[in-house]
Structures are given as C-alpha cells and as structure tokens.
Structure 1
Amino acid sequence: MEYAYPAALRAAAVTGIADHLADGPKTTEELARITGAEAQKLYRTLRLLATRGVFREVEQGRFELTGTAEYLRTDVPLSVRAAVMMITSKAMWLSTGELAGNLRGGADGISFESLFGKTIWEHWCRDLPPEEEFHTGMMSMTEPEIQDPVRSYDFPEGATVVDVGGGYGGVLIPVLRGNPTLRGILYDQEHVLAKHRLTELGADDRWETVPGDFFDKCPEGDVYLLKYITHNWDDARAVRILRNCRKAMKPGGRVLLFDMVIPPGNSPHPGKLMDVIVMAIYPGRERTEEDFRRLLADAGLRLTRIINTTSYLSTIEAVAA
C-alpha cells in the first residue's frame, strides 16, 4: 500500500499546498477554499503526509509547513516540486505499475513503448505543463543532489568542462559558479538548449551551448560531466557515448560520472530502488563498481577512483586507458 504516499505527495504538489502555507498554518477548510479541493478529502491526504514529516497537524484539521514540506514550495532555492511532478507523472507511474509484464522482456514483454506507443524520449518531447516537463523535473532533482559531489571534487584550473546531455545546465551551473577559472560547454539537443538556464551565471564569456547528438560525437574539452546519462542506456549505447567523450578529450582529460553505485549485499540502497524504476522506462540500468569498471574499459577509459559524497550520488572518475 506504500504507493498511496507518492500519490498523496503528488496531490499536494498539484494543489500547491506548500505555497498556500508559506505565510502560516491554515485549516483544511481554508486550504479547500483556496485550491477548490474537498475539505475532508484534503484533510485525509495531509494527515497521511504528516506521518512522513511532510506537513504537520498542529491542531485538529490545521496544518503547517515542516522543513521537508518547505521544499515543495515553488519560490524557494532547491525546490523539488517539479521533480515530484515528473517522478509521479503518468509516464512513470503506469510503466512502473506494469513491472510484472516488463519482466518477460522481448516481444512478449510490456515496455514503455508498448504502453504509450512511443519511446520515453518521444513522450518527453511533447508539449507538457512546465512543472511536468522532463528537463524541468531533472533540474529540480539535480540542484539539491549535485551540490556536494560538485563541492567535493577538485577541478583543474582553467579547464574546459563539457556537460554531456546536460539539459538546462543543472550540473554545469554549480560547477562554474564554484570554480571561477573554468569554462563550460552545455551539450545537448537544440530544442533542449533553447530553454537553458546558464544566463543565471551572468557574464556569458565563460560558457557556451553546443547542439548535437552524443551518440554521434562530443565537443573537445578537458573534463566531461555525465549525470544520470549512462543509466538511461544499455551497455552498448552507454559505451558509445563514453567512447565519443574519449575521442574528443584533450590529453590529460577525464570523465566524471555522477551516478549511484549499487553496493553488494542485501542492505537497502537508493540505487536498488532507482534501478527498478529505470527498468520500467528506459533501456538502461543502475550499475555496480565492477559494472562501471567494465563499461569504462570498453570505451577506452580507466576507472581511477569513486568518490562517495553526502549525496546518494557518487563521483566516478575515469581517464584515458
């Protein structure tokens, strides 16, 4: 029955409850009048979320924000509302719900494409509400989770950093912001780059956007950043992307993968959960350290170290083999 929690979380995000509580506690009757919801149903939804620390019932039927619920607001730094909207969208929800059929694989299996008549990438290219758009959601996910991996890595002075498949610039922005000697290239498809957010950095002499296809080639650079890129693809296509980075890389260059690394054993790990979600929607998977070592070797790269951070993302560093 745990699926009820993300459903309730989505309902709170859609109705903007966190924004409506920004100026202080309100009763569910007050919130219902603002949002057009039914007061009793809204109460039952918020009561469930309060058991997880998302909102707090301060007295019967009256709720306030918690530290966690603050991040559902749209007007705060590191807001995750768009990420919640993306992760709980029908595309994610329905495909994961068909996991049993997905396990069969092949022509008999149920895939995202068989459910929706298009690939996940074609689906995200449709005109969607801004808060449910893929790259908006990914930016919302990236901002909080990439902060520590970026701070904990010592980037070489004066290097050109290429954010491969970087969307709107969720990784490149904090990298350039924290390293004033670096130059950056945001590399993605042209229609994605049209909505980039690099202008948040101010002066445009440190960054540029380059349109292209990472299965075809990558721009020349010193450091290649790939966040949640290889997990989208099977080994053959992931190797192809990495090999294109290797070909374009300047002497002494390196590749940084920001990904979850699944540990051995039976202990819980976010990567094991993410792996099942990935299985339902993408052709890729989450990987172990040994998986990454083999993948990089096949692309002509050598894994040099894995940096664990306070985030559930690890920084996987590789150089030319």
Structure 2
Amino acid sequence: MPTTPHSPAVRLTEHALAYLHSAALRAAALLGVADHLADGPRTAEELAAATGSDAAHLRRALRLLATREVFREDETGAFHLTPAADPLRSDAPSSLRDAVVMLTDEPFWRPAGQLADTVRRGRTVFEDLFGAPYFGHLERVPEAGAVFDTGMAGLAESENGPIAAAYDFPADGTVVDVGGGRGGLLRQVLLRNPALHGILHDQEPVLRHHTLDTPELTGRWQTHPGDFFAAVPPGADVYLLKRILHDWSDDDCVRILRACRTAMTRPGSRLLAIDAVVPAGNAPHPGKTMDILMMTSLDGRERDEPAFHRLLTAAGLEPSRTLATDSTLSIVEAVVA
C-alpha cells in the first residue's frame, strides 16, 4: 500500500531522521550562514564563497532547514533569513548561535546516540565515552568548557529579562546568583531593581568572564568564587538557582539546597529555583526535550512541581509558590521551613 506524506510510516521515518535537522542546523551555525544573510538574500553560490564551503552541498543543507522555516529559498534560488533563522546571527539581540553550537556539540551529541544503554542502566554512559563525568570532562578539555560557557550564556540571554521581570524582588538588599555563570540573570535583576546589590557565585575560571562590570551597575556587585556544594555567601535576601538543579541527581540537589538553606540567615530570605517545570499530559513542552539531554549526559533531570517540592522540603525549605515566566522556565519560590 503506498504511503502518503502524512501517513504513520512517513511520520515515523521523519522522526527517525530528525537528527539530520540538528546536523544541518549545526553546520549553518558553524559556517555563519545567517551572518551573511543579514543584508539580504544570497544564492548558495554566494554563500559558499563567503563561508568557504561547497555550493551544492550547502544548498542541500539549507534546503532541509527551509522545510522547518529556518531560512527560505525563493524561486530564484536565493536564501532569505526567516524569524526562526535570525537568532542564528552572531550579532542578533539574544543570539542563539553559540547555544546551537553547544547543544549540538559532541558532549551532548554522542551520549544521546547511546540513549538505549542509558535507559537500560539507569545512568548516563557519558563517563564510558569520555573518561570523566560531564563537568569533569569540561575541566579537562578547555575547548569543550569554552563551548559550554559561551553557549549557556547565549541560551540564557533570551531568558534572563523575562525571568527578572516575572518576580517582585525586594526594594533593597542583596541577591546571590548561585552558580550564576557570567552573571546575565543577575545583571538583569540589578538593572530592573536599582537599589539591590548582587553577588555572583561560581567557580573562579567562570567568574573571569562575568558581564557585570558596566557603568549602570557600578558599586552594586561583587563576585564570590566557591563550590555551591560546600557553601554559598550567607545573609542575602534572595538566592537564585537558575538551570542548576536540573544538572544534578536528587541527592546532589539536596546538597546544593542545604548549602543555600544554611546561608539563609536573614529573616524573610527566599530561594528561587528557576528551571523548567514539566507539566502532566502528552502535549509537547521544552522541558520534556531537555529532560532527555540531562538524562543522557549528566544524570540530571527536569522535574514537575511535586518533585521540586520534595527536594526543597528535604533540604529544610518550605515551597511557597510557583510563578510562570515569559520563557520556558518557571520560578519555584521557597522560604526557610
């Protein structure tokens, strides 16, 4: 019986080959195709000359991406930027180029191919493939660590403004961004709340690349190197944990949260766990996709609201509310129990 474009057989085959879309997207990001379309459409030949690639092969990769509305090929053979392709420009506001390179890089790509082994064992095979756990590998291979740090900063840039706007921060006081990377979220919080002071807490190599040293924030921030499993700066009004807990097992999350709980000595101190909160049901959700990435490379996971509540309670914290944001992440607020 012949298949139709929307038959189960065709749809299942498309799902099986979906990794080719990721491969084409990575190629376009690495070649900087979107940058060369910023001033208008160009043919595959023109793009190939600009990117140092083969025109025929480049056209085939872009043609596939155009089926997902990432670029558009017109009747003359010229390719155009689309709303979905525009964030691939390196100079785009909230550019996702570095994030795409990170998400399709080998430390995520290879373990995903071994998902069946991960499911059988109940743990990631990352160490079998790379000789160290995920973050240990990033420390041993500086190039991979740089891709991760840059990619995470790019991914976060589109989220930080909506998250900072979604929460009613205190009028004054101190906010600690725990494991805050280059400080993008803390920067947005401080810009929106001009009487707040901020502390960026992370490992020393990460802090060297922070983004807080701007005229608007002069005198209102400091960095604090350290290990969030051991201790975090005490006495703050608000503690931020953005995209931290999803990296770790439940036991490790409780260790991180207990370190924060110990630091929460100020009356009324609050902790904000900022992650995807996975909804029930069969509808698509970015957290369900990211959950597989966490499972294959880190032994982490995305969690539903009851799972967050269990972690917080185990660490001596009391969940108070969950707030949606205009991003894929939500804010789970907790106070000292």
Fold shared per TM-score above 0.5: yes
Of residues 281, 287, 294, the one that matches 1:278 is 294
Q: Who is 1:3 aligned against? A: 19
Which residue of structure 2 lines up, in the alignment, with residue 306 of structure 1?
322
Please give the alpha-carbon distance, in whole angstroms, between the structure 2 residues aligned to 1:93 and 1:166. Answer: 25
In the TM superposition, what are the counterparts of 1:261-276 in structure 2 within 5 Å?
Answer: 261-276=277-292
What is the CA–CA distance in structure 1 between the aligned matches of 2:144 and 2:178, rounded to whole Å?
25
Q: From the superposition, tell whether residues 202 and 227 of structure 1 become closer, same or farther in structure 2 (CA, over 3 Å).
A: same
Structure 1 unpaired stretches of 5+: none
Contact 2:124 2:295 in 1 (8 A): no
Q: Measure the CA separation in 1 of the matches of 2:149 and 2:125.
A: 22
The change in CA–CA distance for 1:242 and 1:158 in structure 2 (over 3 A counts) is: same
Q: Which moved more, 1:256-265 or 1:117-126?
A: 117-126
Of 218, 238, 242, which aligns to 1:204?
Answer: 218
Paired position in structure 2 for 1:237: 252
Q: Which runs of 5+ in 2 are unaligned?
A: 1-16
Deviation at 1:17, TM superposition (A): 0.3
Alignment: residue pair count = 318
| Cα distance in 1 between the residues matched to 2:136 and 2:103 | 17
SS of residue paired to 2:26: helix
Q: CA deviation at 1:63?
A: 0.6
Alignment partner of 1:185 is 2:199: yes
Higher strand share: 1
Q: Is the 8 A contact 2:126 2:297 kept in 1?
A: yes
Counterpart of 1:111 (choices 119, 125, 146) is: 125
Q: Retained in 1: the 8 A contact 2:138–2:144? A: no
Which residue identity is paired with 1:228? R
TM-score between the two structures when normalised by the length of structure 1: 0.95
Residue in structure 2 matching 1:78, options 94, 109, 127:
94
- Structure 1 distance, partners of 2:147, 2:72, is 29
8 A Cα contact 1:56 1:65, kept in partner: yes
State percent identity of aligned pairs. 53
How far off its partner does 1:156 sit?
Answer: 0.5
CA contact (8 A) 2:191 2:217 kept: no
User: TM (normalized to structure 2)?
Assistant: 0.91
Mean Cα deviation higher: 84-93 or 196-205: 196-205
What code does the residue aligned with 1:31 have?
A: L
Establish whether residue 225 from structure 1 lines up as the match of residue 240 from structure 2.
yes
Distance of 1:285 and 1:53 partners within structure 2: 30
- Contact 1:226 1:256 (C-alpha < 8 Å) held by counterparts: yes
Offset at residue 83 of structure 1 (A): 0.3
| Cα displacement (A) at 1:189 | 0.6
Computed over aligned residues only, the root mean square deviation of the Cα atoms, in angstroms, reads: 1.5
SS state of the match for residue 263, structure 1? Answer: coil
What CA distance in whole angstroms lies between the structure 2 residues aligned with 1:240 and 1:308? 26
Cα distance in structure 1, aligned partners of 2:243 and 2:106? 21
For 1:230, give the aligned amino acid: L
Q: Is the 8 A contact 1:173 1:201 kept in 2?
A: no
For the residues of structure 2 that align with 1:92 and 1:201, how far apart are their CA atoms? 37
For the 8 Å contact 2:247–2:298, the answer to whether it is kept is yes
- Report the AA paired with residue 311 of structure 1: S
